[in-house]
């Protein structure tokens, strides 16, 4: 298989919450249209790192970074970057499905409406497209104007992914997207991730080793704020070169 282009890169990235250094000298390249998984024990910095990739941590008082994060070669922390534009390009899906207390339709088109798109036909078309992409359309097409909160947890998470897709990002960040879901819903989301990587670059934080093994092309193992090992998922899971990676994936700690 030809090697994909690099979509996202961190170069010598340090991140701090006040005096606490949560990420230490992270350098990593993430391939375009591939799935990169972040694994590691609780508190090792996976979510912090994921959130630096669309500047979600900007909201946290005392948070700061050193080093660079490049999206398509451009530093996303550059002072000329518009964070709203960045977040259109780099969408995010969270651990717990978080639909708005609105209809299914309003949830999917939320981002488009914020962008000022009002044309009803256009919004309907976009909603259908995103819901088809997340394999939810058949399940919800007759209740588009009912509350999204009436959907099951798994459907809600697929709706949140559809909401993220509707604004046409090129990267989707997923922070433990299935940890609140049952096994069947989890399998659906995993299938979806597999499909989506044809068109999107995906970065996923997961505690579930099997999940990382099933869905990702490349895996990064973090430990206490450091990137310990990064490589092809198959290699990381079958013959890691670092003892700490080996101990973690075999369940000896974490
Ligand atoms: N808002 C915050 N303020 C201060 N420290 C924080 C904040 N968020 C995270 N941290 C600290 O940064 C470190 C990394 O946390 P992070 O949430 O990135 O880890 P994680 O690997 O994603 O953990 P988990 O798997 O439990 O979600 C931890 O020591 C955590 O306590």
d(CA 250, CA 212): 13
Per-residue pLDDT reduced to its tens digit, 20-37: 999 999 999 999 999 999
- Per CATH, the number for 6-249 is 3.40.50.300
> Which among 209, 158, 207 is positioned nearest to 179, based on CA atoms?
207
Q: CB burial class (10 A; 0-12, 13-18, 19+) of residue 6?
A: middle
> Which among 2, 59, 56, 8 is positioned nearest to 29, based on CA atoms?
8
Distance 131 CA to ligand 1 centre (A): 32
Task: Judge if the beta carbon of residue 60 lies within 6 A of ligand 1.
Answer: yes
Counting as low any pLDDT under 70, the low residues of the chain are: 1-3, 253-254
In this predicted structure, what is the pLDDT of residue 2? 52
Distance 43 CA to ligand 1 centre (A): 5
In this predicted structure, what is the pLDDT of residue 239? 95
Task: Judge if the beta carbon of residue 57 lies within 6 A of ligand 1.
Answer: no
∠ CA 234-217-2, nearest 5°, is 105
> Which among 150, 251, 197, 250 is positioned nearest to 1, based on CA atoms?
197
In this predicted structure, what is the pLDDT of residue 180? 87
Distance 117 CA to ligand 1 centre (A): 37
Where do the domains of the chain lie?
6-249
Task: Report yes or no on whether pTM surpasses 0.90.
Answer: yes
Count the neighbouring beta carbons within 10 Å of the beta carbon of residue 118. 9
In this predicted structure, what is the pLDDT of residue 1? 47
């Amino acid at each position: 298989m030809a090697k994909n282009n690099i979509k996202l890169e961190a170069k010598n990235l340090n991140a701090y919450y006040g005096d606490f250094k949560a990420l230490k000298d992270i350098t990593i390249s993430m391939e375009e249209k591939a799935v990169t998984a972040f694994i590691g024990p609780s508190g090792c910095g996976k979510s912090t790192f994921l959130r630096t990739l669309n500047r979600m941590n900007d909201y946290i008082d005392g948070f700061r970074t050193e080093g660079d994060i490049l999206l398509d070669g451009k530093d996303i922390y550059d002072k000329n970057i518009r964070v709203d534009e960045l977040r259109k390009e780099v969408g995010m899906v969270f651990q717990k499905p978080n639909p708005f207390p609105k209809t299914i339709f309003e949830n999917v088109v939320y981002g488009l409406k914020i962008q000022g798109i009002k044309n009803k036909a256009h919004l309907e078309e976009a909603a259908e497209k995103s819901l088809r992409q997340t394999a939810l359309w058949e399940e919800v097409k007759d209740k588009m104007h009912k509350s999204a909160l009436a959907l099951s947890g798994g459907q809600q998470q697929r709706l949140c992914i559809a909401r993220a897709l509707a604004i046409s990002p090129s990267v989707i960040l997923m922070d433990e997207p299935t940890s609140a879901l049952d096994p069947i819903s989890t399998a659906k989301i995993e299938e979806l991730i597999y499909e989506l990587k044809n068109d999107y670059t995906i970065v996923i934080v997961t505690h579930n080793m099997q999940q990382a093994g099933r869905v990702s092309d490349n895996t990064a193992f973090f430990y206490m704020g450091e990137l310990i090992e990064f490589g092809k998922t198959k290699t990381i899971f079958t013959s890691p070169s670092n003892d700490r990676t080996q101990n973690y994936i075999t369940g000896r700690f974490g």
